[in-house]
Structure 1
Amino acid sequence: LHGITSHASAYLTDLKRNAAQWDTRGRYRARHLVFLGEYGHAYSGPANDSGQRRKMAEANPELETDWRSKPEALAEMGAISLQGAGHAFAFPNFWISGNQVIMGYPRGPHKTECWFFTLLDKNLSEDRRQAAIHKAKHTFGPAGLW
């Protein structure tokens, strides 16, 4: 729910190119996963079925998600590792989103400064690497709308 309301202007800038990815119909009724862990850690985000995972992989080829079906991931998280598509949050100020990690630094009672770090597979082809860098800069980066 947060994404399609808080980031509505960002969705609108790219509708023509990625219309299927930004289609918000049904998202308010979509299944959502929330896991509360120890010490304030949490995970929250939409649940993805195999069709949604395929759409996301096509729209974001730089994100490698095959790790989700590896035996060690399934042993640690169970089948839920195949369904999650949200954000892991390590209390008090660190979260993981796709191929980025974010540190939030308090800068006053109503301000937080966020530092984003993008992680890329060193074996990406040059085209995919450049696409990932472009996306990082134009999503949560200095030229981003998110």
Structure 2
Amino acid sequence: GGVQKWVINCNWKFPAEQFASDQYHALFSHASAVQVLGAKDDGSDKRLGDVWETAKDALQFGQDGHGSGFFFTEKPDANVWVDGAVSSYYRETYAEAEQRLGEVRALRLAGHNNIFPTLSWLNGTATLRVWHPRGPDQVEVWAFCITDKAASDEVKAAFENSATRAFGPAGFLEQDDSENWCEIQKLLKGHRARNSKLCLEMGLGQEKRRDDGIPGITNYIFSETAARGMYQRWADLLSSESWQEVLDKTAAYQQEVMK
């Protein structure tokens, strides 16, 4: 219960963008942590990339500034830092979830999400947070642990442990991310960075609308579709005189993307 709060020396848009669009950092930024945590009793390793090899689909969603990247998988232990009671709970409740929600919605989602501008969460890891800007160089994080209401106390405790050890103020993955954001913040103050255009072209021109019930503009999970949409929405809000003007600019941008 409760909320954990701490301050990171970076602009709020870095964490918001990562939770909206940046799946591709994981194998590089978190490799050392995953190697340690993914070790099994028999000496073998559970690799972070396993979910990409077994996933039914891998896509990124980006529209109206919101963003999400996720895999559809039947594996309840898709994230190597979430196992034990949590994995058992996903296995035991899968049939009920499929009956209640249908095949697609019942699939395990391993991924990241951001509701524009500053509400983020991770599927399965049980962390939800709000990024509170504190000027251009700092953001205050408010992090919550979320669990299924119907879960047992044991499962809820397992969710809390996984969220705290991975994404709390001292979490091993949180440290990796925070260091990246802080160092980028420092570099962008330099002369070269301030006079160079930034590149957000990953997956450009590959966007599509799906016909299987998944809404919005999508792309392959390793892309920057959601990041481009997030910054476009932010720019539209800053440059518009009315809400209707924001909507018109967003519609024009999305039409251009889907040409």
TM surpasses 0.5: yes
Q: For residues 2-52 of structure 1, give each alpha carbon's deviation from its aligned partner in whole angstroms, at most 9, with x where no partner exists.
A: 2121222321331324832x3436849x75311122x2112113x2333xx
Give secondary structure in 1 for the equivalent of 2:69: strand
Distance 1:111 1:34, change over 3 A: same
Unaligned runs of 5+ in 1: none
Q: Tell me the C-alpha RMSD between the 2 structures.
A: 3.4
Higher relative contact order (CA 8 A, sep 6+): 2
- Identify which of 48, 56, 59 aligns with 2:72: 48
Distance 1:36 1:8, change over 3 A: same
Q: Distance in 2 between matches of 1:68 and 1:40?
A: 29
Q: Distance in 2 between matches of 1:26 and 1:118?
A: 23
Q: Distance in 2 between matches of 1:130 and 1:105?
A: 27
Structure with more of its chain in helix, by fraction: 2
Distance 1:130 1:102, change over 3 A: same
Distance 1:114 1:61, change over 3 A: same
Q: Distance in 2 between matches of 1:84 and 1:61?
A: 17
Give secondary structure in 1 for the equivalent of 2:136: coil
Partner of 2:139: 112
1:10 corresponds to 2:37 = no
1:92 corresponds to 2:117 = yes
The one-letter amino acid paired with 1:48 is F
- The offset of 1:131, in angstroms, is 2.1
Partner of 1:121: 148
Q: Distance in 2 between matches of 1:25 and 1:123?
A: 29
Q: Distance in 2 between matches of 1:116 and 1:128?
A: 19
TM-score normalised per structure 2: 0.42
Q: For residues 92-133 of structure 1, give each alpha carbon's deviation from its aligned partner in whole angstroms, at most 9, with x where no partner exists.
A: 111121222111112232432222111123443333233222
Partner of 1:62: 86
Structure possessing the higher radius of gyration over alpha carbons: 2
The one-letter amino acid paired with 1:33 is L
Asked if the contact 1:48/1:85 (under 8 Å) is kept, the reply is: yes
Distance 1:134 1:26, change over 3 A: closer
Asked if the contact 2:51/2:73 (under 8 Å) is kept, the reply is: no
Identity of aligned residues (%): 25
Unaligned runs of 5+ in 2: 1-23, 174-259
TM-score normalised per structure 1: 0.68
Distance 1:121 1:26, change over 3 A: closer
